[in-house]
Every structure is written in structure tokens, then in C-alpha cells.
Amino acid sequence: MLRLLCLLVLTSAASAIHAAEISEQEHISTHAREFEVSPVSMSYEELAALIAGTHDIIEKANAGVPQDQYLHPIVSLSVAAGEDSVKTSDWTPITAEKALPPIAREVRFLYHWDSASPIAEVSVSLTDGARVVNVEGTDSAQVAALAEYLRNSLGTSATLLGGLRIRMPAFYGLMLLFILLSFVLSSRAAVPLKVVGAVLPISIPFIAFGLPWEVWLPGTAVVSGSASWVDRHANLLTVLGFFLSLAAVLSAAIARLRRVIAEESAKAIQSKILQVP
């Protein structure tokens, strides 16, 4: 009987302590910063430096949190290019990994620890369609400092053009231009111009879906080797070269159109002159 009574008392005390801990955690206020970043292009060395800087800030912010010998923070970093991916589960620099994709199109980083920590969770998701950073924790100052560090670091790797938000308007603008040119050229009497006008609409699907726009204008690119300005903007330079070539072809077609119009006008004037008695 005495043993049963002692067991009931201990169970009640443990339940009360657990309930108090849960109540305390529920009353802990958390702060979060979430933002999107522009299209980015960086080297693996720059990515490793970004994660190392994040690690330093987290270690200093969470220095006072009691450590459990059985529980450890969740840390993961993955880079991928299609089905080719590499993942780490600790703070080891990504540059220490072998056989990294030459150009990674997707980066995902996650840090998660006790929800009562000054910095409890950090997630960085860099993909072609969106690039989102999220920082959470109980210390608003530490959360803001880490968020600002990530914003500034990723800002230095921002590119002028890239991602779906840039490519889609470019697609629609190019399609509209080709359709207008098709109508203009098809209305002319010259057979070569009619042929060009008929071919332009057919070429729209190839230009929109056949060309590697996601390679030329990626939302995220992590490259091996140099990260110089030329390397960082190589895709943009390729696109500019493509459009310059396209502009040259269109300029030649427009010049031809002007000559045909001038010849037709001259013939019309000459015909009117011959008809005059």
C-alpha cells in the first residue's frame, strides 16, 4: 500500500513537472524573418563561406543553450542538378565533397534545434522558381542579425536576369513580336517575305520550349571553379548573343521589306505615269 502511494505521488509530480515544462514552452515567444532573394549565381567556395558564416552566428547565439549528449541539432545541406545531387548532414564544407555537379540548379539548407533556442531554425531554399530564406528563434536581435547576414551575402551573388519571373515575360514578348512580324510580312506581295511570315509562327514553339532558357537564365546556379564577372554572367552573355543574332536577322528582313515596298511604290508611280495620255 505504501509503495503504491509513493508511486502515485512520484507519477503525479512527474506529470506536474512535464505539464509545467510544456506550459513554459507554450509561453515562449518566437520571432521569424522570411524573405525572398533575387536570382543568384555563386561558386561552391562562396556557398561554403555562406554556410560557415551562418554556423558561426548560430554557435555564438546559442552558446548559452544547455547541450544534451543524446540530442544534436539537425543540419543538412544539399545541392542538385536534376537527378544528380549531393547532400551533407553536418557542418562539413560542401567543397570537401567529391563529384559535385558542375552547375547546381538547386540548393537547400536546414538547421533545426530546440524551439526555445535564440536561433531555433534556419532554412535556405534556392531553386529556379523561388529563392526563400527563413530564420526563427526566441531572440529577435539574433534572428534579425542572421537574416541580415544571409540577405547581404546572397545579395552579393545576385544576377541581373534569371528565373521564371524573368523568362515568362520574355517568352510572351518574343511571341508577340514574332506574331506581329508574321502579319506584316505575310501581307506583302514578295514571295520570300511571305515565306518568312509563314515560318515565324511555326518557330515560336521551338524558341519557347526547344532552347535551353533555364540554362541561359537560371534562377539559381552554383558553379565549380572561378566566380569572376564573366563566369557569373556567362549565361546572360549567351542570351545577349542570341538576341543580337536574332536582331541582325530581323534587321536584314526589315531592310529587305523596305526595298520591296520602295520597288512596289516606284512601279505604281511609273504605271500611273504611263497611263496618263
Q: How is residue 17 written as a grid cell?
A: 513537472
Residues 137 and 205 in one domain: no
Q: How is residue 197 written as a grid cell?
A: 511570315
Residue 42 lies in a domain: yes
Count structural domains, the chain. Answer: 2
In the chain, what percentage of residues exceed pLDDT 70?
68
Question: Is residue 271 scored above 70 in pLDDT?
Answer: no
3-class secondary structure, 78: strand
Residues 80 and 113 in one domain: yes
Helix runs in the chain, H state only: 2-26, 44-61, 140-155, 164-186, 191-205, 213-216, 229-232, 234-275
Residue 23 lies in a domain: no
In which band, very low, low, confident or very high, does the pLDDT at 194 lie, cut at 50, 70 and 90?
Answer: low
Residue 6 lies in a domain: no
Question: Is residue 104 scored above 80 in pLDDT?
Answer: yes
Residue 74 lies in a domain: yes
Q: Can you tell me the distance from the alpha carbon of 219 to that of 217, in angstroms, rounded to the nearest whole number?
A: 7
Domain region containing 181: 164-216+233-275
In which band, very low, low, confident or very high, does the pLDDT at 210 lie, cut at 50, 70 and 90?
Answer: confident
Question: Is residue 220 scored above 70 in pLDDT?
Answer: yes
Q: How is residue 148 written as a grid cell?
A: 541580415
Residue 56 lies in a domain: yes
Q: How is residue 146 written as a grid cell?
A: 542572421
pTM above 0.75, yes or no: no
In the chain, what percentage of residues exceed pLDDT 90?
36
Q: Can you tell me the distance from the alpha carbon of 41 to that of 163, in angstroms, rounded to the nearest whole number?
A: 11
Residues 54, 77 contacting (CB under 8 angstroms): no
Residues 84 and 182 in one domain: no
Residues 246 and 139 in one domain: no
* pLDDT value at residue 4: 47
Question: Is residue 154 scored above 60 in pLDDT?
Answer: yes
Residues 112 and 199 in one domain: no
Residues 132 and 185 in one domain: no
| 45 compared with 69, residue with greater pLDDT | 45
Residues 193 and 84 in one domain: no
Residues 114 and 188 in one domain: no
For residue 80, give the H/E element and its range.
strand 74-81
Residue 260 lies in a domain: yes
Average pLDDT rounded to a whole number, residues 160-189:
73
Residues 150 and 175 in one domain: no
Q: Can you tell me the distance from the alpha carbon of 151 to that of 35, in angstroms, rounded to the nearest whole number?
A: 8
* pLDDT value at residue 9: 47
